[in-house]
Amino acid sequence: MEFPGWVTDLRPLILLSMSLYHFCATLFEIIVLERSPSKALKLADVRLRSFARLWTAKGEDMSIEMPGPLTELLQQCHGTVLDIGPGSGEILPRFDASKISAMYGAEPAEALHPGLIKNARKHGFGNKYHALLCGGEPESLIPALAKSGILSSSGTGGTAENGIFDEICCVRVLCGVPHPQQTIKGLYTLLKPGGRMVICEHVVNPWRTEGSIGARIAQLVYTLMGWPFFMGGCELQRHTEIWLKEAAEPQGWDKFDLQYVGPTYAIPFVVGELRKKL
């Protein structure tokens, strides 16, 4: 069933209300149940924990339908794969575990790790899955990769400069990473020559071209209503596709194939694949 544009633009309100509920519930748990009011002052931790609470409750439902050709793109992943922000592994069934020799999931929310490990086992990854407690930003990711043993300064395990991953997947995560341009550039560096990035990210509404001015205004309004605060740092107005393109400069990408899915919505996605030059 096709909804009118303004109805679609109002749907994020439901998610925002749920995130507000989980934020209050997290504060209640910390202050009343755990009796650790000082922990409530660490707002960054509270926000991460509250988003993890929301994702644990709703992540599975929100992963039943994924935009565009994402499933086909993930099914082709092979070799050594890095998944940024895998959450509790809701998209793991979309990969073909038999094609993957090792998979690294960089997930900073500790509360999501038990679900992530359980889903990795359930979907056939066994010992090939390595859950890293870190973010996708270089200052967090690089030490975690070094600790895991995949990244070595001697060159035997590969170095960040040479690239170590055949595939890097960013699914619904670049909206929330800190300093996204630097983070995306860092991920580009970690990709082997000829390696592929799989992208499924919501972005700023392209209202000047194929988007909608109403949806662009809705993005502004939701941001002012506290979307990034209550949604674990998720920003609605990121120019991710431009930053992805810039990450490969000056040599550029061998292939840069991103398409908009729902360009007239308040949460439009870009989905596709990028291939690094050999």
Ligand X SMILES: C[S@@+](CC[C@H](N)C(=O)[O-])C[C@H]1O[C@@H](n2cnc3c(N)ncnc32)[C@H](O)[C@@H]1O
Tokens of 268: 């439009």
* DSSP-derived secondary structure for 108-152: --GGGHHHHHHHHHHTT-GGGEEEESS-SSHHHHHHHHHHHTS--
Q: Which of 91, 132, 218, 261 binds ligand X (CB under 6 A)?
A: 91
Amino acid at 39: K
Q: Residue 67, interface with ligand X (CB under 6 A)?
A: no
Q: Under a CB-based contact definition with an 8 Å cutoff, are residues 58 and 50 in contact? A: no
Q: Which of 177, 191, 236, 270 binds ligand X (CB under 6 A)?
A: 177
Q: Which residues pair with 82 in a beta bridge?
A: 104, 168
Of residues 194-223, those binding ligand X (CB under 6 A): none
The size of the interface with ligand X (CB under 6 A), counted in residues, is: 23
Q: Residue 186, interface with ligand X (CB under 6 A)?
A: no
**Which is closer to ligand X, CB of 73 or CB of 84?**
84
**Which is closer to ligand X, CB of 91 or CB of 103?**
91
Tokens of 222: 């939701």
Window contacting ligand X (CB under 6 A); options: 6-14, 29-37, 168-176, 215-223? 168-176
Q: If you ran DSSP here, which 8-state letter would residue 2 be given?
A: P
Of residues 95-134, those binding ligand X (CB under 6 A): 106-109, 112
Q: Which of 26, 50, 63, 219 binds ligand X (CB under 6 A)?
A: 63
In this structure, the number of other CB atoms found within 10 A of the CB of residue 98 comes to 7
How does 164-175 read in b/e, with b if 16+ C-beta sit within 10 Å?
bbbbbbbbbbbb
* Shortest-Cβ-distance residue relative to ligand X: 85
Least Å distance, CB 143 to ligand X, is 14
Q: Residue 272, interface with ligand X (CB under 6 A)?
A: no
Least Å distance, CB 244 to ligand X, is 16
| Strands 191-202, 165-171: pairing kind | parallel
Residues forming contacts to ligand X in the complex (CB under 6 A) are 55, 63, 84-87, 90-91, 106-109, 112, 135-137, 171-173, 176-178, 232
